[in-house]
Amino acid sequence: MAVNWVTYAQDPSAQAGVQKKHKKHKKHKKHHHHHPEDCPHLENYNLHSVVEFGTEPGHYTAVVNGTHSCYVSEDYQSGALHSVVIGAGQEGPLKPNVTYYYRVGSSSGDRSQEFSFTTNPEVGPGSLPYTFGLVGDLGQTHDSLDTLDHLLALNSAQSVIMVGDLSYADGYQPRWDSWGRLIEPSAAQTAWMMIEGNHEEETVDGDLGFLAYERRFFFPSNESNSTSPLYYSYEVAGAHVAMLGCYTDYDRNSEQYSWLVADLAKVDRKRTPWLIVGLHAPWYNSNEAHHGEMDNMVDAMEELLVNNGVDLVFAGHVHSYERTSRVYDGEADDCAPIYINIGDGGNREGLSNTWIDPQPRWSEVREASFGMGTLELTDSTHAVWQWHRNQDDAFEVSDEVQIVRNPRCSPGDASYHPMRPLGLFSAPLSELLSSLRDRLSSFLA
């Protein structure tokens, strides 16, 4: 478990400034990766990264030290960006399904208020049911607040998958600080697992990259044998989750593709029967916005996902909601993933409300409304997906589907069969009869 926070050498409200005018980037300026010793505004502060925690409120039986970093961009100087991993050192591993109370601070005595979190259950199908919260393209608007209010009101998500486009800082660094404060009520008590979106790619000191994103959050890249924070995987309860990077190389000669091949090959479906993928830009999308944008990634990776029995793929980027049937290469396939686009978290760019007509056969539900979703993995073969619109009561379900996983489609499962069901009967009977008639005529000719 990683705990991340920011402390400031000055009043952080002076850096919030969400409504301030965005400053233009300076061109052709040499880029430097700033380390703590490169930040003079922090040199006179006795900075240490400390987390105290225990299983009773106000009673902290363990103290863990971590690291801090910072960065500078034009006239912006970040606070100290602290990161402490607990449960991996002398304090011993955290117990599953236990509520811990903690506070953060420095060894000089400064401490935060007390927060709490409940650890995940042990990895394995015996830990189901388990519920994920799903959010995309959140930003920091009134709609963003509504999304977070729904997430907190439901109080069912044991962890959150955030599929990119976090703060919409777009180079204006104080927005990262205000976004951290915005999500704190949820993120201080529930683990958020994030993947980069296009709005995380910023120009910092004239260099285009993901510096703020990489410095401010913890990613289990090393733990999942990834060489990049832009893609990684993790396991929780009965699920293996692979987070893929749309803004780094993904072709079949790339490091990411090689990593994904190896990562999927080691998935044990007896241990993690559910296989979930998160990424930013959708592969199946019937909205005019960003339509076909990721075709090259689909060409490179779709077959790999299908052959490894991926169950669900969550994406954002398009500012609307859409859920597909199981689809592969544009056609119904009983062993293909379901694609769910949730780029409707509340961003400042507004909704994407222009749809392709007619609606593709693989597109089952689509709507341009802000919202968020939950995925409950009920057991090894059944799950429930629910989408909640912001304009409705938090507990009102706007879209719901019962998902049944076919173990015959999953390599490593005891009932796996290497010949995937062809999904023929997802086509209308008239089309099947016509196809058989044509083949018979061709054979007799």
Both 271 and 394 in one domain: the answer is: yes
Residue with structure tokens 């409705």?
392
The CB density around residue 282, as the number of other CB atoms within 10 Å, is 30
Which of 210, 207, 141 is closest to 178 using CA atoms?
Answer: 141
> What pLDDT is attached to residue 8?
74
Q: What angle do CA 375, 200, 370 make, to 5 degrees?
A: 45
- What stretches of 281-421 show up as alpha helix (H) in DSSP? 295-307
Q: What are phi and psi of 234, to 5 degrees?
A: -160, 165
Percent of the chain with pLDDT over 70: 85
Both 401 and 346 in one domain: the answer is: yes
> What pLDDT is attached to residue 313?
98
Residue 65 has pLDDT above 50, yes or no: yes
Both 110 and 208 in one domain: the answer is: no
Both 18 and 140 in one domain: the answer is: no
436's enclosing H/E stretch is helix 429-444
Extract the runs of DSSP E, i.e. beta strands, from 334-389: 338-342, 363-367, 371-377, 382-389
CA dist 340 and 139 (Å) reads: 19
CATH code, 372: 3.60.21.10
Residue 429 has pLDDT above 80, yes or no: no
Query: What one-character-per-residue DSSP string does 397-435 give?
Result: -SEEEEEE--GGGSTTSTT--SS----GGGS-HHHHHHH
Q: What are phi and psi of 46, to 5 degrees?
A: -80, 80
Both 243 and 268 in one domain: the answer is: yes
How confident is the model over 294-323, as a mean pLDDT?
A: 98
Residue with structure tokens 């400064």?
110
Mean of pLDDT over the chain: 88
> What pLDDT is attached to residue 441?
52
> What pLDDT is attached to residue 417?
60
Residue 27 has pLDDT above 50, yes or no: no
Both 153 and 206 in one domain: the answer is: yes
pLDDT in tens, 67-95: 988 998 888 999 999 999 999 998 999 99
Please return the burial class of 100, using the count of CB atoms within 10 Å of its CB with bins 0-12, 13-18 and 19+.
Answer: buried
Domain boundary among 71, 92, 119: 119
Of 103-107, 161-165, 328-332, 385-389, the poorest mean pLDDT is in 103-107
CA dist 431 and 425 (Å) reads: 10
CA dist 110 and 9 (Å) reads: 13
> What pLDDT is attached to residue 26?
33
> What pLDDT is attached to residue 9?
57
Active-site amino acid positions? 290
Which of 315, 366, 316, 321 is closest to 139 using CA atoms?
Answer: 316
Burial letters for 106-122: b for 16+ Cβ neighbours within 10 Å, e otherwise?
A: beeeeeeeebebebbbe
Of 20-34, 97-111, 375-389, 395-409, the poorest mean pLDDT is in 20-34
Q: What angle do CA 412, 417, 420 make, to 5 degrees?
A: 115
pLDDT in tens, 212-246: 999 999 999 999 999 999 999 999 999 999 999 99
Domain boundary among 58, 93, 119: 119
CA dist 45 and 398 (Å) reads: 50
Both 290 and 221 in one domain: the answer is: yes
Q: How confident is the model at residue 20 (pLDDT cuts 50, 70, 90)?
A: very low
Query: Which residues contact residue 68 at a Cβ distance below 8 angstroms, ignoring those fewer than 6 apart?
Result: 36, 47, 48, 49, 80, 81, 82, 83
Side by side, the strands of the sheet bearing 67-69 are 2-7, 80-85, 67-69
Both 264 and 372 in one domain: the answer is: yes
CA dist 213 and 221 (Å) reads: 14
Q: How confident is the model at residue 443 (pLDDT cuts 50, 70, 90)?
A: very low
Residue 203 has pLDDT above 70, yes or no: yes
Kindly report the pTM of this predicted structure: 0.88
Domain boundary among 119, 144, 171: 119
Q: What angle do CA 287, 289, 293 make, to 5 degrees?
A: 100
Q: Indicate the Cα dihedral angle 144, 148, 151, 152, nearest 10°.
A: -160
For residue 185, give its domain range: 124-445
Sign of CA dihedral 159, 165, 167, 173: positive
Both 65 and 148 in one domain: the answer is: no
Both 355 and 273 in one domain: the answer is: yes
pLDDT in tens, 45-57: 778 899 999 999 9
Which of 103, 24, 101 is closest to 57 using CA atoms?
Answer: 101
Both 270 and 223 in one domain: the answer is: yes
Residue 144 has pLDDT above 60, yes or no: yes
> What pLDDT is attached to residue 155?
94
CATH code, 27: 2.60.40.380
Residue 36 has pLDDT above 80, yes or no: no
Where is pLDDT greater, at 3 or 426?
Answer: 3
Domain count, the chain: 2
Both 56 and 160 in one domain: the answer is: no
